[in-house]
Amino acid sequence: MRRRGVLGQAGLAGILASCSAPAVLAQPVIRWRLASACHPSLDAVYGGTEQFARQLGLLSGGRLQVTLLPTEEPVASLPLLEALQAGEIDALHAVPSHFVAIDECFALDSAVPFGLNSRQMSTWQLEGNGLKLLRDFYAQHQIVNFPMGNSGAQMGGWFRRELDSPADLADLRMQMGGLGARVLQSLGAVPQQLPMGELVGALERGQLDAVEWVGPHDDRKLGLGRVARYYYYPGWWEGSAQLSLYCNAKAWRALPPDLKAMVEMAAQSVHAAIQARYDVLNPVALKQLVASGVRVKTFSKPVLDAAFKASNALCADLSRRNPAWRRIYADYSAFRREQNLWHRLAEASFDRYLQSARL
Amino acid sequence: MRRRGVLGQAGLAGILASCSAPAVLAQPVIRWRLASACHPSLDAVYGGTEQFARQLGLLSGGRLQVTLLPTEEPVASLPLLEALQAGEIDALHAVPSHFVAIDECFALDSAVPFGLNSRQMSTWQLEGNGLKLLRDFYAQHQIVNFPMGNSGAQMGGWFRRELDSPADLADLRMQMGGLGARVLQSLGAVPQQLPMGELVGALERGQLDAVEWVGPHDDRKLGLGRVARYYYYPGWWEGSAQLSLYCNAKAWRALPPDLKAMVEMAAQSVHAAIQARYDVLNPVALKQLVASGVRVKTFSKPVLDAAFKASNALCADLSRRNPAWRRIYADYSAFRREQNLWHRLAEASFDRYLQSARL
Given CB atoms, is A231 within the 8 Å cutoff of chain B?
no
pLDDT in tens, A288-323: 999 999 999 999 999 999 999 999 999 999 999 999
Find the mean pLDDT for residues A197-203: 97
Q: Is residue B15 one of the residues assigned to a domain?
A: no
Percent of chain B whose pLDDT exceeds 90: 90
- Identify the weakest region by mean pLDDT among A11-20, A29-38, A112-121, B225-234: A11-20
Give A19's pLDDT tier (boundaries 50, 70, 90).
Answer: very low
Point out the residue among A26, A114, A356 whose CB comes nearest to the CB of B354.
A114
- Give dist(CA A33, CA A15) in Å, integer: 33
Same domain, A204 and A81: no
- Does residue A98 contact residue A177 with C-beta atoms inside 8 Å? yes
Give chain B's domain count: 2
Q: Is residue B234 one of the residues assigned to a domain?
A: yes
Same domain, A73 and A168: no
pLDDT for A74 equals 54
Same domain, B297 and B205: yes
- Give dist(CA B39, CA A73) in Å, integer: 54
Kindly report the average pLDDT of chain A as a whole number: 92
Find the mean pLDDT for residues A200-204: 98
User: Is residue B74 over pLDDT 80?
Assistant: no
Q: Is residue A11 one of the residues assigned to a domain?
A: no
- Give dist(CA A5, CA B21) in Å, integer: 9
Point out the residue among A6, A127, A257 whose CB comes nearest to the CB of B273.
A127
- Does residue B51 contact residue A253 with C-beta atoms inside 8 Å? no
- Taking an 8 Å cut-off on Cβ atoms, the answer to whether B273 and A126 are in contact is yes
Same domain, A268 and A293: no
Best to test chain A binding among B18, B63, B119 (most A CBs inside 10 Å): B119
pLDDT for B70 equals 87
Give B142's pLDDT tier (boundaries 50, 70, 90).
Answer: very high
Query: Domain holding A171: CATH number?
Result: 3.40.190.10
Q: Please give the residue range of the domain that contains residue A291.
A: 157-238+282-320
User: Is residue B73 over pLDDT 70?
Assistant: no
**Beta carbons within 8 Å of A199's beta carbon, 6+ residues apart:** A175, A208, A211, A213, A222, A224
Chain B positions touching A308 (Cβ under 8 A) are: 353, 357
Q: Is residue A191 one of the residues assigned to a domain?
A: yes
Given CB atoms, is A191 within the 8 Å cutoff of chain B?
no
Q: Is residue B175 one of the residues assigned to a domain?
A: yes
Same domain, B43 and B138: yes
Given CB atoms, is B217 within the 8 Å cutoff of chain A?
no
Chain A positions touching B27 (Cβ under 8 A) are: 24
Chain B positions touching A351 (Cβ under 8 A) are: 117, 153, 239, 340, 343, 348
- Taking an 8 Å cut-off on Cβ atoms, the answer to whether A279 and B337 are in contact is no
**Beta carbons within 8 Å of A281's beta carbon, 6+ residues apart:** A44, A216, A217
Find the mean pLDDT for residues A6-34: 54
User: Is residue A200 over pLDDT 90?
Assistant: yes
Q: Is residue B189 one of the residues assigned to a domain?
A: yes
User: Is residue B51 over pLDDT 90?
Assistant: yes
Kindly report the average pLDDT of chain B as a whole number: 92
A55 is in an annotated binding site: no
Same domain, B143 and B173: no
Same domain, B275 and B300: no
**CA-only gyration radius of chain B, Å:** 22
User: Is residue B330 over pLDDT 50?
Assistant: yes
- Give dist(CA A102, CA A322) in Å, integer: 12
Q: Is residue A7 one of the residues assigned to a domain?
A: no
Closest-CA residue to A146 (of A138, A156, A154, A158): A138
Query: Domain holding B72: CATH number?
Result: 3.40.190.170
pLDDT in tens, B312-327: 999 999 999 999 999 9
- Taking an 8 Å cut-off on Cβ atoms, the answer to whether B336 and A345 are in contact is no
Phi, psi of B64, deg, nearest 5: -120, 105
Same domain, A122 and A208: no
Find the mean pLDDT for residues B302-314: 98
Point out the residue among B7, B280, B284 whose CB comes nearest to the CB of A21.
B7
- Does residue A215 contact residue A161 with C-beta atoms inside 8 Å? no
pLDDT in tens, B162-176: 999 999 999 999 999
User: Is residue B21 over pLDDT 60?
Assistant: no
- Does residue A275 contact residue A149 with C-beta atoms inside 8 Å? yes
**Domain C-terminal end among B258, B280, B302:** B280
Given CB atoms, is A10 within the 8 Å cutoff of chain B?
no
User: Is residue B75 over pLDDT 80?
Assistant: no
Same domain, B115 and B172: no
Pairing of strands A230-233, A295-298: parallel
Phi, psi of B125, deg, nearest 5: -80, -45
Same domain, A83 and A184: no
Given CB atoms, is A258 within the 8 Å cutoff of chain B?
yes
User: Is residue A24 over pLDDT 70?
Assistant: no
User: Is residue A12 over pLDDT 50?
Assistant: no
pLDDT for A71 equals 75
Predicted TM-score of the model (pTM):
0.93
Three-state DSSP at B302 gives helix
Of residues A150 and B27, more confidently modeled: A150
User: Is residue B3 over pLDDT 90?
Assistant: no
B195 preceded by a cis bond (ω within 30 of 0): no
Find the mean pLDDT for residues A239-244: 98
Nearest residue in chain B measured CA to CA from A57: B258
**Domain C-terminal end among A251, A280, A309:** A280
Give B355's pLDDT tier (boundaries 50, 70, 90).
Answer: very high
Buried b (16+ CB within 10 A) or exposed e, B163-196: beebebbeebbbbbbbbbbbbbbbbebebbeeeb
- Give dist(CA A280, CA A284) in Å, integer: 7
Chain A positions touching B264 (Cβ under 8 A) are: 269
- Identify the weakest region by mean pLDDT among A68-72, A121-125, A354-358: A68-72
pLDDT for A76 equals 77
User: Is residue B206 over pLDDT 60?
Assistant: yes
User: Is residue B14 over pLDDT 60?
Assistant: no
User: Is residue A73 over pLDDT 90?
Assistant: no
Point out the residue among A126, A266, A346 whose CB comes nearest to the CB of B153.
A346
- Identify the weakest region by mean pLDDT among A181-185, A335-339, B3-7, B324-328: B3-7
A238 is in an annotated binding site: yes
- Taking an 8 Å cut-off on Cβ atoms, the answer to whether A117 and B234 are in contact is no
Same domain, A107 and A65: yes
Of residues A8 and A132, more confidently modeled: A132
- Give dist(CA A353, CA B4) in Å, integer: 54
Chain A positions touching B268 (Cβ under 8 A) are: 265, 268-269, 272
pLDDT for A25 equals 57
- Taking an 8 Å cut-off on Cβ atoms, the answer to whether A354 and B117 are in contact is yes
- Give dist(CA B356, CA B359) in Å, integer: 9
Find the mean pLDDT for residues A274-283: 98
**Domain C-terminal end among B280, B307, B335:** B280
Phi, psi of A157, deg, nearest 5: 100, 180
Given CB atoms, is B291 within the 8 Å cutoff of chain A?
no
Q: Is residue B343 one of the residues assigned to a domain?
A: no
DSSP B154: P
Find the mean pLDDT for residues A2-27: 40
pLDDT for A77 equals 85
- Taking an 8 Å cut-off on Cβ atoms, the answer to whether B350 and A156 are in contact is no
Find the mean pLDDT for residues A49-62: 97
Find the mean pLDDT for residues B266-289: 98
Same domain, B222 and B303: yes
Given CB atoms, is A122 within the 8 Å cutoff of chain B?
yes
Residue B271 CA, chain-centre distance (Å), reads 10
pLDDT for B11 equals 35
User: Is residue B110 over pLDDT 70?
Assistant: yes
